[in-house]
Amino acid sequence: MPTHELRPSTLASSAVLSVLALAALTSGAAGPPPSGRVVTLSLVQSPELGNVRNVFVYLPPSYDRGVKRYPVLYLQDGQNVFDPGGSLSGREWGADEAADALAARGVEAIVVGVANIGANRAAEYVPYAIDANDRSTRADRYATFLVKTLKPMIDGRFRTKPDRQDTGIGGSSFGAIVSLYAALQHPDTFGFVAAFSPSLWVADGAMLHAVQNKRFTSPLRAYVDIGTLEGSTPQEAALSVTWTRQLASLLERGGATVRLVVARDQGHNEAAWAARFPSVLEWFAGGSARSAVRTP
């Protein structure tokens, strides 16, 4: 498999440069590229879960100037995606800035940030019984909410490309686990999945077992990544890298087109995911099916 080494100098500079590099290609001396906007859908009801949550929808710069339709990427932990004010860590992914920079190159997408509900996060994001969710999971209901309630709402209110090849799902940590789970459970809905730093340790690697014998009858593009500092000890960090490599291999063996990034000297945090997000959005929205597994 082709390889490529990712060596960001620092988390902060990597995140900034990832966005600025995209903008620089087209901005020239004409000033900053046009910006999209984020619409907040407040208190979206989920009959599947019996609760409500906010949903944040990024619309690209050209959205209000025509009739074009756009691919849609659904991201978990939506309060962390666009605004540092909503994030517990005070850091965001900068997804709107990344999308604006990509739009300057002529590649646009709608990005939907689906907020989590604090105490319910582990129950809704982890499809296995673990201590963090009091050994009770609602992940199946959450995935059904995304597919049966939220996606039809987004497709009805906004000019989307609703087909599976133009619909992606992604998230980090537990959010990566539920994104993988939803992609496996609903292959007719999602043709793209992005798993940033998936918590593969949950339930003794149950997600690896779920993917092990999976065969994808419809094309699936899967992005998987991990930082080399994700663990409380060097041994835990090394094991996280090993498990993530195994996940990528299993997905590829099942027929998915996989991109794997093992990011040197990056940890388990918003800054690391923000640094890697622009290239993932570009792969999703650009529609390339070219396989390129990238590891050190």
Q: For residue 2, tell me if it sits in a domain.
A: no
How much of the chain exceeds pLDDT 70, in percent? 83
Higher pLDDT, 274 or 118: 274
The whole-number pLDDT of residue 32 equals 72
Q: Are 75 and 95 in contact (CB under 8 A)?
A: yes
Whether the Cβ atoms of residue 80 and residue 168 lie closer than 8 Å to each other: no
How far apart CA 195 and CA 171 sit, in angstroms, is 6
Confidence of residue 90 (pLDDT cuts 50, 70, 90): confident
Q: Provide the pLDDT confidence category of residue 30 given band limits of 50, 70 and 90.
A: low
CATH of the domain at 166: 3.40.50.1820
In a domain, 292, yes or no: no
Residue 155 belongs to domain spanning: 11-25+37-286
Q: Where are the alpha helices (DSSP H) in 39-138?
A: 95-103, 121-125
In-domain check, residue 118: yes
Q: Is residue 271 part of a domain?
A: yes
Domain assignment present for 6: no
How many domains, the chain? Answer: 1
CA 183 to CA 31: how far, in whole Å? 40
Domain membership of residue 197 (yes or no) is yes
The stretch 209-235 carries a mean pLDDT of 95
Res 132: pLDDT: 60
User: Per the domain annotation, does 85 fall within a domain?
Assistant: yes
- Backbone angles phi and psi of 279, in degrees to 5: -70, -30
